[in-house]
Structure 1
Amino acid sequence: MLTQALQAYSQRHDQFFGQQFQPVSTSQRLAQAMQYSALNGGKRIRPFLVYASGELLGAQLSDLDPCAVAVECVHAYSLIHDDLPAMDNDALRRGKPTCHIAFDEATAILAGDALQTMAFELLSQHTFAQVPVERQLAMIRSLATASGLAGMCGGQALDIEATNRAISITELEQIHHHKTGALITAAVELGVLAAPQSTADDLRVLRDWSHAIGLAFQVQDDILDETGDTQTLGKQQGSDAALAKATYPALLGLEQAIAKRDALHEKALHALSQLPYNTDIFVEFTHYIVTRDR
């Protein structure tokens, strides 16, 4: 069920995203760089979270389309900028040359900037069928907060500041709560906000679940950076260690990092048990997060 849902939602996301470039009235090269980065493979985890959370609570797919693309635009822009020489200086992303390698640094910076602004253009200009203007504003606020100083950008800054410095496990969790977890939670929030009958309890429980899977996702990423291989990962294995980045295996040891991941897995499942809906696909997705190999 999960595989089919991921494929269906991914195809829907890609189709809606592609429609935003017809026609291109300015730089065709910039549009190509944006599409190259946003459609360059990937698991589409954040769009899945938007669609699955929204559909669980009765949202219309047409109302979820701009939300799914908006959150993935922010994610794609962050990856473009993370890969730049000034940041991680990565040459591979999802097994293909990174944006600044495939194009050039200036185009990559502009592609990231344009994807970020596209996210908020989509949320602000879309005519929603079931979403009142107050919730539409809440969507914009949710994604903006998760993207900026209080979220992803702040987490990336903390990550950079922690390089070549001994930090505690609490500090590491703070980094990843913002750098990775904030956008995952925002994806869930966008789906819930698109569902007119959703309640505060629905939002609270799904936030708890998203916090757990967001951290579990990062722990598994750290484990894979140590135990995976470059071909499977689609990026250079051991790149975190090469950059002297703080990771869960580095701080806890591999065995305890795996235990940490498994505890977060259980925490996520406990959160789901509080929802009075069929959450089978969420349970399956939770398992996928901690067992994936890339």
Structure 2
Amino acid sequence: MSEKTKLSLAKETKQILQENGIILNKNLGQNYLIDDFKRKKIIKYAKLSKEDIVLEIGPGIGTLTIELAKNAKKVIAIEQDATIFNILKKRLEREGIDNIELINEDAVKVDFPEFNKIVSNLPYQISSPISFKFLKHKFDLAILMYQKEFADRMNGKVGTKQYSRLSAMLYFKADVKFLTKVSPESFIPSPKVDSSVIQLKPKDIKTIKIDGEEFKINDESYKIYSKVVKALFQHRNKKSKNALIDSRHMIGFKDKKELKSVLKHLEDKNPKFKELLLERTINLSPESIMELSILLKDHL
């Protein structure tokens, strides 16, 4: 990447902000990409065609948006900040770009129109809720920029410090692939941490085998799994039995004795269940947590 190219995008961004009297707020996740090399890489990762309808969250002044629109059939850009929204709207009108649908709403709350790809430099403070919202929709591919620490937890391996509630929740919903790191110098204002560009591809695991018996993974199973995951990862270094007892309210138990009785009954009935309860949360694979959830479901 030539310095001239990088400065070109940086200069353009600063000029638009200065002309409109905008001072970006880091606390609101307003870190604008000024690295044209990284912008081109993100667009390339998205593998866009003129058939694609792209969803973008937090378009800002259009750094990615305008390039996406050149390569896709349509872009749906959702920007919550009314001032920034109006700047982008005027910019698109001035440049005669007519295949971008702008929505001035909170992306976490608004209903999404139909789309088949997602490309976004996400506001970091909504990383978790917006990611899970994406996964409630059908789409082909998402190219997303996150804070590096969050991205590491998305793909955390069992037994590592990155393995988390987030890793376990995503496991049955999407394949997560790291694509590239983005340094703080690639943004204005510069964040204090590195960022990562991640590829998300939805996956649909429909069954799991427990002791040779096949169990369906449906919406109900995943709902129970979500509760169990949440309870377990409140105490990630404890044995899963103790973690469940200590977070019993999260799985619908008020009385400690009642939950202990249920667990004892299941342990006596199923040696595998007993084995899982003795394992520390951090060492339980998502499949093992799903097994626990399915074995517990009639009692939750």
Greater relative CO (CA pairs within 8 A, separation 6+): 1
Report the TM-score when normalising by structure 1: 0.30
Structure number with bigger Rg: 2
The structure where helix makes up a greater share of residues is 1
Report the TM-score when normalising by structure 2: 0.29
The structure where strand makes up a greater share of residues is 2
